Structure formats: C-alpha cells, structure tokens
Amino acid sequence: MGEEADKGLEDIGKEREKKDMTKEELALEVIERLKKEYPDAGCTLDYNQAWKLLVSVRLAAQCTDARGNVVVQDLYAKYPDVNALAEADVDDIEAIVRPCGLGRSKARDISACMKMLRDEYDGNVPDDFDALLKMPGVGRKSANLIMGDVFGKPAIVTDTHCIRLTNRIGLVDGIKEPKKVEMALWKIIPPEEGSDFCHRLVYHGRDVCTARTAPHCEKCCLNDICAKNGVQ
C-alpha cells in the first residue's frame, strides 16, 4: 500500500507540474524530447534540387510521400530539368502523376509553376515566401517547407501530423485551420527550431501518435507532459 500511495502522490505531482507549464515551456520540452527521439529527422520527400521539392510537395497533396517519391522518378526520367518540364504537354505530365490522385489539377499546376520558374526566375526557386505563394498550387504549407528545407529560413509546416499532434499535446487549443495553427505555433516555437520540429512531428505521428489507430501512449516520449486531448 505504501508503494501504491507513493506512486499516486508522484502521479498527482506530475499532473500539477504539467498544468503549471506555460505553452512556451511545454513547447521547449517537447522540442528537446523529440530531438532525442528523432535526431536525424528530415523531409520525407526525396529531392536533390529546389525545383524538385516544389514538384513533390504539389504531388503530396492527398497522397503519401512514399507514393510521390516513386512517381517523380518516372517524371524526372522523362523531364530532367525545369525547361523540359515547362515545355511538356500537360496531358503527358498527367499520365505520369495520375497515381498520386487529382492528376489533372496537379499536372496543370506543375506545368504552370515550371513555366513561371523559367520565365520569371531564370529556372531558380525564389527564396521569398510571398513569391512562392504566387506560384500555382503553392500554399502556406508548401512555401514554409521550401523556405525551411531549401533555404534554411524559419518555417512552420502545418501538415496533418502537425495539426493533430499539436492539438493532442496541448500546444494549441482546438485549432484545426492550418494558418491559425501556424500563427499560434509561431508564438511559442523558437524560429530556428520550427522546420525540424515539424519534421519530427511527422515521424512521431507515423510511429507513435497515430491517427487511424489509438496512439501508443505507453511508448511515447511525451507521455507525462502530453494533454492527450481527444485520446479515449
């Protein structure tokens, strides 16, 4: 009984400590723990040139990164650079990217995007957030990914893993709109940590804090500080 009582008091103490943490303090602790858990986490889209990430991130919409990584191999084999892809017929692009879903829409965006890179930026991806947002098919999530991964600039990528986990952990409170989640996280995540933090959330969301099954809280490095919002 003594040991059980001690454990009970210890659990109560941890709960009080968790409640006393500010969101900024919680964010820093989550960042440090995820760093230890996933020290080498990086972008899960394969690319070796900036324009290829621009293509891949468009294909990734409503498609797994793994599938996108396979499809782009065929795309780049036929169209190996910006100029070649800009000159390609939209129908031919669509035939290759169709396995990623939304083939026509994605093909049109990729074609228009490559034409813009060729005609306005000499084939180079601009390192300006607002310029990226003007490109067909590029939203805030994609622009942040490119700013962070390609140019090493502060970035917060609010993909489905980021939105789900930050709500579950308690870093944001019931916010589901990507831009609002991004704005809330900018207030508590150090700018230099944002990009890698979001990559680690992807790994953690796939391996531990899953969406389609009950999260594996028993093996989670955040178990004692997580709010477990929405967890039954």
State the pLDDT at residue 20: 81
Average of per-residue pLDDT across 22-50:
97
Residues found in the chain: 232
Q: pLDDT per residue over 46-79, tens digit each?
A: 999 999 999 999 999 999 999 999 999 999 999 9
Q: Which of 185, 195, 196 is nearest to 155 (CA)?
A: 195
Domain ranges for the chain: 22-42+156-219, 50-149
Q: Check whether 9 has a pLDDT greater than 90.
A: no
Confidence of residue 118 (pLDDT cuts 50, 70, 90): very high
**Residue among 192, 190, 110, 197 at smallest CA distance from 161:** 197
DSSP helix, strand, coil percent of the chain (3-state; round to 5): 65, 0, 35
pLDDT, residue 12, reads 46
Average per-residue pLDDT in the chain? 93
Q: Does position 108 have pLDDT exceeding 70, yes or no?
A: yes
Catalytic residues: 141, 159
Give the CATH number of domain 50-149: 1.10.340.30
Task: Determine what percent of the chain is predicted with pLDDT higher than 90.
Answer: 91
> Which pLDDT score is estimated for 19?
65
pLDDT number for residue 232: 81
Q: In this predicted structure, what is the pLDDT of residue 5?
A: 47
Rounded percentage of the chain residues whose pLDDT exceeds 70: 92
pLDDT of residue 97: 98
Q: What is the pLDDT of residues 183-198, one digit of tens each?
A: 999 999 999 999 999 9
Structural tokens at position 24 = 């900024």
Task: Give residues with Cβ within 8 angstroms of 177, minimum separation 6.
Answer: none
Q: What is the mean pLDDT of residues 125-150?
A: 97
Give me the architecture of the 22-42+156-219 domain, per CATH. Orthogonal Bundle (1.10)
